[in-house]
Amino acid sequence: MDIKLFDTTLRDGNQARGLSFSLEDKLAIARLLDAFGIHYIEGGWPNPTNQLDVDFFRRAREMEWVNARITCFGSTRRPGKSAADDPGLKHLLDAGCPVVTIFGKSWDLHVDHVLRVDRQENIAMIRDTCEFLKKAGREVVYDAEHFFDGYKANPEYALATLRAAAEGGADWLVLCETNGGMALSWELEEIVRTVGQEIPGVRLGIHAHNDTGTAVANSLAAVRAGALQVQGTINGIGERCGNANLVTILANLQLKMGQAVVPDLSALRQLSFSVWEIANLSPDIRAPYVGDAAFAHKGGMHIDGVVKVARSFEHVDPSVVGNERELIVSDQGGGALIVSRLVELVPDLDKKDPRVAEILGEIKEMESAGWHFEVAEASFHLLAAKRLGLFDAPFQVTHYRVTEEMGAVDTEATVRVKVGSETAHTAAFGEGPVGALDAALRKAVVRFFPELGAVRLTDYKVRVLEGASGTGSRVRVWVESTDGTRTWATTGVSANIIEASWLALVDSLHYALFRRRPKGQ
C-alpha cells in the first residue's frame, strides 16, 4: 500500500472556533508540512470574496515545494450552467494549483433540501466538473460530502454520485464523514470495503470528523478497507469537535500498521507544537505521541518498571516521535524515581539508601500540604540536595517587608540578607508586592554573587488550593526563571500569597547558585 497524507489544516482546520490564520501563518504552516513530508496541502478556497486564499495561492506559485502538491478547494459547477462557464471553476484554474479538490453532494437529503436540484442534475454536475478539470490538466480529488450518511440512507444514489466522479476522470474518490457521526469504526470499514468492490479500479480516500471521538480510528479502519489517501489536520483542529488528527494518524500508520508514510517521524512533536504556536493555541498535553504527558510516568510501580525496562510501560520509544520520557516527582512516586532524578548529583545512589526514603517521605508530606514538584524540578533538586548534604544555602534572608499604599503606582519592598558575617539591607520598587520583593532580593544578593545579575523572572502563576477557608485558603505559587542559558521552575506554598511567592523566589536564586557549583561539590 502507498498511503498518501492529505493535510487540510489551512482550509478545514481554519474553520475551527476561535482560530483565524493570517497569510503568513498559512505560508509558514505549509512550509512546515512540506519539509515534514506531507503529500498534499490544501491551501483554501480561492475566489474573489476570499482574498487571503487568493493571495496564498499566488505566493505558493512562487515557492519551491519539495514533498507536497499544493491543492485548492471548491465546489461542483452550479446547477444549469456548463462547467466551462462556471466562474467558480475558473477561479480554481486561475489559482494555478496542480491539484484541485472538488466537493459534491452524495446524500439525497442534501440534494433535495439543501442544494434543491434534481438528483440527476446533481450527478451531471459532479461528472461535468471532474471532466472539465481533468481536461485542464489537473489532478482531481473528489470529496464526496456526507457520503456515509448518504450511503446509509440511499446506497444506490450515493454510489451513483461516486460513479459520476469516476466517469469524469477523478483521480481520487474521498469518502467524507462530514457530520462526524460514524461512531462505529467497523461499520465505516465495511462501507469503504463495499465501495471498493462496487467501483473497482479507483483510488479511495477518507475524510473524517471527530464528533464522536472516533475520527482517528475511523481513518485507520478506512485504510484497512483499502483507502489510500487519508485527510486530516495537524492536531485535529477544525470545525465543531475537530477533524481527524493527522499527527496521531500518521504515527499509527507508520508505527502500528507498518506503512512508511513519511521519511522521519522524529520531527513529529516539533511539527505539532509549531502549528499550536502559529495558531496561538495551547498544546494538548495529553495528545498521543507528542503531548507533554504522552510519556510521563507518575505511579511508583510504573516508574520502577520503566527505569528497569522502558518498553514495560511505553508502547514506543519517545525519541522516535521527537518526544521525551518524564518521570514525575509526586507523592505517588517511589525510590526508583528519586534515584533516577538524582543520577546527575549522585551517580551511584541506591534506592535502598535510607536518605532516599527520607526524601520520598518529605515529598509526600509536602505534597499533601499542597506543594507540587511535578512542574517545579528546581525546588525538588534543592530539597534533595540539602538532604544529601550537597547544598547549604549560600545566603539567608533575615527580614523582608512590603509596603503597599492606596493609590500608589509602585510597591516598596525592603530585604535584609546575610552572607557569612556580612549583611546587606536593600529597598526597591516594583509593580506589585512580588515584583518589588524580587527586585529588592536581587539587589541585595548581586553584591555577593554577581552572576545572579543574569537571572530574571520569566513567568509567575498562582493557584488557590482546594479548601473551605475562603480568602484564608492556602495558595501555591509557581515561578519560572532563566539566566539566558537555562530555564528552571520553583514553587512555594502558604496561606499568605506573598510568603508563597517569597519561598519560590528564594529557591530560584538558590538553585541558580547550586547549578553553578563546581562538579563534585
- Residues 258 and 328 occupy one common structural domain: no
Per-residue pLDDT for 26 more than 70?
Answer: yes
The pLDDT of residue 520: 45
Length in residues, the chain: 521
Give residue 177's domain range.
4-263
Domain CATH for 442: 3.30.160.270
Average the pLDDT over 61-86 and give the result.
96
Average the pLDDT over 424-433 and give the result.
88
Q: For the chain, how many structural domains are there in total?
A: 3
Digit-coded pLDDT (tens) for 227-271: 999 999 999 999 999 999 999 999 999 999 999 999 999 999 999
Q: In what order do the strands lie in the sheet with 456-464?
A: 456-464, 475-482, 487-494
- Residues 80 and 197 occupy one common structural domain: yes
String of b and e for 420-438 (b: at least 16 CB within 10 Å)? eeeebebebebebbbbbbb
Domain CATH for 128: 3.20.20.70
pLDDT band at 343 (very low <50, low <70, confident <90, very high): low
Cα–Cα distances (Å) from 66 to 34, 39, 70, 139, 225, in that order, read 6, 10, 11, 18, 30
CB atoms closer than 10 angstroms to residue 157: 18
The pLDDT of residue 340: 66
Which of 263, 279, 304 is the last residue before a domain boundary?
263
The grid coordinates listed for 486 are: 537555562
String of b and e for 191-215 (b: at least 16 CB within 10 Å)? bbbebbeeeeebbbbbbbbbbbebb
3-state secondary structure of 396: strand
- Residues 29 and 162 occupy one common structural domain: yes
Average the pLDDT over 428-438 and give the result.
87
Vertex 389: Cα angle to 386 and 392 (nearest 5): 60
The grid coordinates listed for 270 are: 516539533
Among 25-29, 88-92, 292-296, the least confident range: 292-296
- Mean of all residue pLDDT scores within the chain: 89
**Stronger pLDDT, 126 or 435, i.e. the higher one:** 126
pLDDT band at 341 (very low <50, low <70, confident <90, very high): low
- Residues 440 and 481 occupy one common structural domain: yes
Q: What is the value of pTM for the model shown?
A: 0.71
- Residues 368 and 328 occupy one common structural domain: yes
Chain-centroid distance, C-alpha 353: 40
- Residues 377 and 499 occupy one common structural domain: no
The pLDDT of residue 448: 92
